[in-house]
A = this chain, B = another copy of it.
Amino acid sequence: MKQIKGINDFVVKFANVNGTGSASANHLFAKAIFRMGIPVSPRNIFPSNIQGLPTWYEVRVSSKGYLGRRGGVDLMVCVNPQTMEQDIADIEPGGYFVYDNTKPLAPHLKRDDITYFGIPLTEMCMREFKVPRLQQLLKNVVYVGAIAALLDIRFSILKDLLNDQFKGKEKLIHPNVRALEMGYQFATENFSCPLPIRLEMGGNDAPHIKESNHILMNGNTAAALGAIYGGATVAAWYPITPSTSVIDAFSKYAQRMRIDPGTGKKNFAILQAEDEIAAMGIVVGAGWNGARAFTATSGPGLSLMSEFLGLAYFAEVPVVLIDVQRSGPSTGMPTRSQQSDILAAAYASHGDTKHMLLFPATPRECFDMTVQAFDLAERFQTPIIIMSDLDLGMNDVMSPPLEWDDDYEMDRGKVLDAEALDTVEKFGRYLDVDGDGICYRTLPGTHPDKGAFFTRGSSKNEMAIYSERGEDYVRNVDRLLRKFETAKSYVPEPKTHPPVEVKKPKSRKKLGALFFGTSASPAYEAVEMLAEEGYPIDTMRLRAFPFHKSLDEFIREHDVVFVIEQNRDGQMRQLIMNECHVSPDKLASVLNYSGIPITARTIANQIRQALDLESANVVKLHPETV
């Protein structure tokens, strides 16, 4: 039998039952690889329930630094009988299967083309540990020990991690280390370790990762830190997966970093609202009153917030919203990832509205863009929506370290204080003094005589007086468009990489690929795969809406541009069609919307198919046929 080979380049997947403590053991595994200096990206695939249902943990190891999903599984660790049949079927030919053989494997689960490693996990734990809870829990650690031997993980790193993890609860270290050792020992004694797929310390061929001293963290924590560093003082929210941990992390850091040293009081307020409408209302009220305020939510919450988003747009109130996207529509799949709130966010609320969106792709960007969101919100006096997703928000992602420039100054935008008001001859809240569509605002309580005005979601003239005159209305909403235009040069510009060189290109067409957020990593990988096959594809990673001018150029310069995204309807493609002047022939959709993050293989396959068709008719690249 041919076995899969490879050093620092494979996919391991764990199949567990949720509520059994597997997540932390699996994390131990991934973190150890990270500590070995090897690019790794773990993903938790969990059900929308608390206990007893199937859950998976997929770990991509890639010396080239590919952090997206590749597709396929090389080594499967399955301790969940509910899903074993499918899990075994999912293994690549030549792959490996680790399982609890306390009970023998059913004969129909035998495949000829994979290698089986039975470990009597239950039996070993029953024998070794007395407390039932530990018997259950430490099974997970035993298999981690075993695959550490199979894959050649440095054992001391695992021990160090356990020591770190149980600091303060030293009593727990011993049984955990024991369990690790049991697994390790069992594997070395019973299997020929290491496998043809294995790890090698420091095996990192990705220069950008090697150089930057990467960290391993999830996007939600990074966004929360962004809110801390960006000076957010008011957070209002309503619990919803997968955005809840943004506020959990904000709360944790705020408790540590935002206590007034003199009084012990809090330089922040966190309000768990009664629902998302209220959460957004609180943020609107705080933003109006000059505090940096934000909320975090997911799908259903975004829908509920839409009336308030329209108010904030039209009344011009700074608001920051972190939308950690999950699978829609409706309740959809709450614990699955998608990029499918794009149109709902961009055009949230009735009437003519357009909202500014940011698309982070890494924890580092979650941090940076959250800081930036507060600046943009105050500069443009409008909602800024950060479009993260479950994949980025809730998984540990290798990321360049967070960086902070101590010279950073908050951009509070055009706010007139009492002094400024004294010098202003005539204050009109909606006068476009600078011609950029952005007007000057004042905060309540600023000045005894000047600058007070009425904020409203209804039409007004430039002096903020209620008005139903068509001219006033049109002047105002046209200015809002002007403001949106101004924003184009303030928002993060798209990223282009130097094109991959291809010796003998197979296509005469100039090909491009557009993507954003969590589609970026697998997209880059797919592009490199295709480059090797003779298809040079230029890339552009979008980072914000409104789109930068360079997007138009990019599209103009290419014959076909693939828009890679994780939703059914090609929403980013639609947004581009709406906002840029592009022939639809040029934009071909590459889509995945199964709820599980898109893989490099899926992207490459779809592009390959499209390129095959291309010779016949470019118009066919329209998503309906791709």
Which A residues form the contact surface with B (CB < 8 A)? 47-48, 299-300, 302-304, 306-307, 310-311, 313-315, 327-336, 338, 340-341, 343-344, 347-354, 456-459, 468, 470-471, 473-474, 477-478, 481, 567-569, 571, 574, 577-578, 581-585, 593-596, 619, 622
Contact = CB atoms under 8 A, between A and B. Distances in A.
29 contacts: A48-B468, A303-B350, A304-B304, A304-B307, A306-B306, A307-B330, A311-B330, A311-B331, A314-B331, A314-B332, A327-B351, A328-B349, A328-B353, A329-B349, A329-B351, A329-B353, A331-B457, A332-B458, A332-B459, A336-B468, A340-B351, A340-B352, A343-B347, A347-B347, A470-B594, A473-B594, A578-B578, A581-B584, A581-B619
Contacts of A574: 577-578
A48 B328 CA distance: 37
Contacts of A300: 307, 310, 350
B459 A333 contact: yes
- Most B-side CB within 10 Å, residue of A299, A568, A577: A568
A582 B581 CA distance: 11
A417 to B, nearest CB: 28
Contact of A307 (B303, B595, B622): B303
A327 B470 CA distance: 10
Nearest to A46: B468
A620 B474 CA distance: 22
Contacts of A578: 574, 577-578
Given A582-B584, A595-B473, A299 B329 contact: no
A590 B330 CA distance: 35
Contacts of A457: 329-332
Given A329-B310, A458-B332, A619-B581, A470 B304 contact: no
Tally of this chain's copies: 2
A468 B583 contact: no
B596 A470 contact: yes
Contacts of A332: 314, 351, 457-459
B331 A341 contact: no
B458 A593 contact: no
Contact of A328 (B310, B568, B583, B595): B310
A315 B329 CA distance: 9
A308 to B, nearest CB: 9
A593 B335 CA distance: 42
Nearest to A594: B470
A497 to B, nearest CB: 28
Contacts of A335: 468
B331 A352 contact: no
Contacts of A596: 470
A236 to B, nearest CB: 18
A3 to B, nearest CB: 28
Nearest to A300: B307
Given A335-B468, A470-B594, 8 more contacts: A299-B351, A332-B458, A351-B567, A352-B568, A470-B595, A473-B595, A581-B619, A581-B622
The 5 closest A-B pairs by CB, nearest first: A328-B351, A470-B594, A330-B457, A329-B351, A299-B350
Nearest to A624: B581
Contacts of A577: 574, 577-578, 584
A48 B466 CA distance: 11
A334 B458 contact: yes
Contacts of A585: 581, 583
A619 B556 CA distance: 14
Contacts of A48: 458, 468
Given A468-B335, A577-B584, A329 B347 contact: no
Contact of A303 (B338, B349, B571): B349
A337 B48 CA distance: 44
A349 B330 CA distance: 8
Contacts of A470: 336, 594-596
A330 B352 contact: no
A583 B587 CA distance: 11
B354 A569 contact: yes
B327 A314 contact: no
Contact of A344 (B327, B340, B350, B456): B350
B299 A331 contact: no
